[in-house]
Structure 1
Amino acid sequence: MNNKKIVVIFPGANYSADCPLLYYAGFKFETRGYEKISISYGDFTNKHNSFAELIEEVKLAVLLKLKAVDLSQYEDIVFVSKSIGTAIAGWIEEKLCIKVRHIYLTPLNETLPYINKDKNIIIVIAGTKDKFLDADTLKEHCTKENIYLKLVEGVGHRLEVKGDMNKNIELLKDLVSTY
């Protein structure tokens, strides 16, 4: 192997790779010598009857994009994912049969099957007020699977404190330091 490393950013449906948590994750890994790929879901999020239908179509589109990249040439592959991206990243690892290290930000119920002790998960981060996945459910799951979970008190799915820029900058700095 030639020490090639890559980070793949899987955004949320309404949280692009340019939003703070994902932008700085990519930036941090790039400063460590990783190549970076940021996935985009395009118009998918507006044309589906159900969330399950949306996830299935996005999975297939992302699979096609990543099959075009020879991931076997990389010694270290890190997937940083947020929200819907967490379900897609977990599925992609299994579908491509590759070894990946994961950073899961605000996972969904659909992600829980991929958050298990047999995977290489760096960290799972969520807010205690996330409306998409109950914090107690996630905590119980991560405890059972022996996965490191950072629960941020009082924040929701965007991992932000409403109306307080200084607290958000502190929180962003704290979260990015865990990557």
Structure 2
Amino acid sequence: MSDKKIVVIFPGVNYSADCPLLYYAVFKFETRGYEKVAINYGDLTNKYDSLAQLIQGIKSDVLLRLKDIDLSQYDDIVFVSKSMGTAVAGWIEEKLCIKARHIYLTPLNETLPYIKKDKNIITVIAGTKDKFLDTETLKEHCKKENIYLKLIEGAGHRLEVRGDMNKNIELLKEIVSTY
């Protein structure tokens, strides 16, 4: 009997599963025999006034959708999340009482409670110019929790360096190699 494996993609608000970091995550895990589920928030992102409300609304919506999939039947569950999706992924793992391995891309402050040493975190990746979460705050948190943090010098929230195509292709390759 072969292992049942699944990768679940939790995108950001303006960073869908078709964007490079998530597209190649799916590609890489599918070649390793993982089933995939890519969450799509649809028009939910237009329905809320604040990020906090948006995250709450999306958590409930995603929980309903994932309840249709019996994640407990999988031997390996990997959550790849970006930005707002990082807060949702951390919460979903706890809510469904499952053990997932995490790849957190550009987490938010709201994600920090889920980035803990007793979780199975493959990597946390952020840019030093990310405007959504202070680099020092994230560094201190990961150090305290003994979690591997990969900081990309000069990269913003999309893990890209403005205006440097070659550098961004290099970064994409470097980041995807950690998955």
- TM-score, normalised relative to structure 1: 0.98
Give, in angstroms, the shift of residue 68 of structure 1. Answer: 0.3
Q: CA–CA distance in 2 between the matches of 1:171 and 1:123?
A: 15
Which residue is equivalent to 1:109? Answer: 109
Secondary structure, in 3 states, of the residue corresponding to 2:94? helix
Which residue is equivalent to 2:53? Answer: 53
Amino acid at match of 1:49: D
Which residue is equivalent to 2:31? Answer: 31
Secondary structure, in 3 states, of the residue corresponding to 1:30? helix
Structure 2: runs of 5+ lacking an equivalent = none
Cα deviation, 1:18-39, whole Å, max 9, x if unaligned, reads: 0000000010000001001100
Does residue 122 (structure 1) correspond to residue 122 (structure 2)? The answer is yes
Give, in angstroms, the shift of residue 125 of structure 1. Answer: 0.0
Which residue is equivalent to 1:167? Answer: 167
Secondary structure, in 3 states, of the residue corresponding to 1:92? helix
Runs of 4+ residues deviating >6 angstroms: none
Q: CA–CA distance in 2 between the matches of 1:47 and 1:37?
A: 23
Are 1:2 and 1:75, in contact at CA under 8 Å, matched by a contact in 2? no
Which residue is equivalent to 1:146? Answer: 146
Q: CA–CA distance in 1 between the matches of 2:15 and 2:100?
A: 22
Identity across matched positions, percent? 81
Q: How does 1:56-67 map to 2 (within 5 A)?
A: 56-67=56-67
Are 1:10 and 1:79, in contact at CA under 8 Å, matched by a contact in 2? yes
Q: CA–CA distance in 2 between the matches of 1:49 and 1:70?
A: 33
Give, in angstroms, the shift of residue 2 of structure 1. Answer: 4.0
Amino acid at match of 1:111: T
Structure 1: runs of 5+ lacking an equivalent = none
Secondary structure, in 3 states, of the residue corresponding to 2:37? strand
- TM-score, normalised relative to structure 2: 0.98
